[in-house]
A and B are shown apart, each in its own frame.
Chain A
Amino acid sequence: MVCTECQEIISEYIDGALELGEQVNIERHLADCESCRAVRDDLLQIVHFSHQLPLQSPSPALWSRIRSDVDSLHTGVWSRPQRWLARVRALNFNLSIPQLAAGAAVLVVVVSLSAIVSQRDGRPLQPAAPSVASAANADVTPLSNSDFQQLEKQISSLSATVEQKKTSWDPELRSEYERNLYYIDQSLVECRHQLKNNPADDVSQELMLNAYREKVRLLDSFEKF
């Protein structure tokens, strides 16, 4: 696989939507290609960061404006976006689909941030996560439970050891580790997201605690290599 092919499907890879064969191919390529890994990490940061943003409820006035705009689009609702897309394509930016997706995600983040700042509700923003592993460890949901804190401490210590050791691993082993770590981190992000919407959701709390334990198990297993 070459970089252009990799970057064509990297969004689907991040969404977990690839067939197993393609997944293996892209992981092999990622294990050897620093620039594609950087693209993947950038996209992951955007995805994770956007998951951490609070949901905003539009005001009733805005809703009514949206409704009237939607009503006015009822005639030829698809023609306008299609024309717009055609115009964008005609501009020939040489952007890949993942790059466009990343651009769109950045736009969403910027707009959401502007909305938060303009509200001036005094809520502190969480810092952007520097990597997949640390994104999952980021303290997005305040954890009062000492179990969580204990597990986070354990994870951070194990992660440091594994990160050190993995430089000497065979690429296949490294890729297996990173893929599974990513799945667990995705689950943790999802749990946090659901807890943010509903902090009293004890199913999500339990699932999150369980996912933390699973992360410890993964790190512990790979720490032995």
Chain B
Amino acid sequence: MPQLSSHAGRRPRFLISIIIAGVLSSGTFAVSGESGSRFERTYTPQGPAHLTISNINGTIRVVAWEKKTISARANAAPSVVIEDQVMGNDIEIGARRNLRLGHADFEVSAPPETALTIKNYVGEIELKGFNGHVSVTSIDSNVHLVNIDSPAVDVRVTTGDIYFDGELHDGGAYSFQSMKGDLDITLPSGTPFNLNARALSENINLGSFVNSLTGSSRGPKGIAGTHLKGGPRLTLTSYAGRILLHKK
């Protein structure tokens, strides 16, 4: 099988091509297409990167590491073509659509400050240890966000549970929505926030936050209120699923 990986640090031509691509704001690297294809790349952004991963069917696992490079690997079904595109510090990696749910699993490591945009149709999503903006949209995915310390997080799935364990920043917006699935949010007990929780058909369980929420309004489908001095906006919406809030 041909080697698909490239290492920018060791290949000056690749580095030059990234810079040219940044200047021209365009440039596409089409990789893969081989039987039982394996995609493997290393990117060296010149500052905090914005990484977009688009998948059709399969897991996406993105973990923060201490290196300044971004390493992306994917194992894909033979029919799946994975492409990447680099525009300055914007890196996009994605499985190309065809008429089926072709399978591809992504394993990515990136610096913690990387901003992440994750798009999927079907498959688990796991993000660990990031402090850049996080946006996740999927049709059918359980989403696990662990050790997240981002200024803004937006997660939106049609079907699937969302699990968040992290910190909230003052003035930040944190929105989690599932049409059919539970929201399970774990926050440090000393985190202030403004809560707006809505569950159309199931319960909202605020755990021990229930005692420290002030100015709250409680209706049959929603709870709004302020924890401590407020600040970060925490919006939780579930249509057919529970909302659970835990103190860490």
Contact = CB atoms under 8 A, between A and B. Distances in A.
Partners in one complex: yes
Given A187-B239, A190-B201, A218-B139, A203 B219 contact: yes
B159 A172 contact: no
B221 A211 contact: no
B177 A210 contact: yes
Contact of A187 (B101, B137, B140, B200): B200
Given A180-B158, A183-B240, A187-B240, A207 B139 contact: no
Contacts of A221: 121, 139
A121 interface: no
Contact of B159 (A173, A183, A224, A225): A183
A211 B100 CA distance: 26
B139 A169 contact: no
A183 B158 contact: yes
A105 B222 CA distance: 31
Interface SS of chain B: strand
B77 to A, nearest CB: 12
A52 interface: no
Interface in B134-181: 137, 139-140, 156, 158-159, 177, 179-180
B242 interface: no
A67 interface: no
A173 B158 CA distance: 15
Interface residues of B, number: 25
B57 to A, nearest CB: 8
Given A16-B240, A187-B240, A191-B200, A168 B99 contact: yes
B225 to A, nearest CB: 14
B227 interface: no
B179 A173 contact: no
Given A176-B140, A207-B198, A184 B179 contact: yes
A206 B221 CA distance: 11
B236 to A, nearest CB: 12
A179 B240 CA distance: 14
Interface string B167-208: 000000000010110000000000000000010110000000
Counting contact residues on chain A (CB < 8 A from B), the size range is 20 to 34
Interface string A181-225: 001101100110010000000011011001100100110010011
Contacts of B201: 190
A191 B179 CA distance: 12
B118 interface: no
A179 B159 contact: yes
Interface string B202-245: 00000000000000000101100000000000000101100000
A163 to B, nearest CB: 15
Contacts of B101: 170, 172-173, 176
Nearest to A191: B200
Contacts of B67: none
Contact of B99 (A170, A186, A191): A170
B248 interface: no
A186 to B, nearest CB: 7
A214 B158 contact: yes
A162 to B, nearest CB: 13
Contacts of B180: 16, 183
A204 B139 CA distance: 22
A95 to B, nearest CB: 29
Contacts of A214: 156, 158, 177, 179
15 contacts: A168-B99, A170-B101, A176-B121, A176-B122, A180-B158, A180-B159, A183-B179, A187-B179, A190-B201, A207-B198, A207-B237, A211-B179, A214-B177, A214-B179, A224-B97
Given A176-B140, A207-B239, A211-B239, 19 more contacts: A16-B180, A16-B240, A176-B139, A180-B140, A180-B179, A183-B159, A183-B179, A183-B240, A184-B158, A184-B179, A187-B239, A191-B200, A206-B198, A207-B221, A214-B156, A214-B158, A218-B139, A224-B97, A225-B99
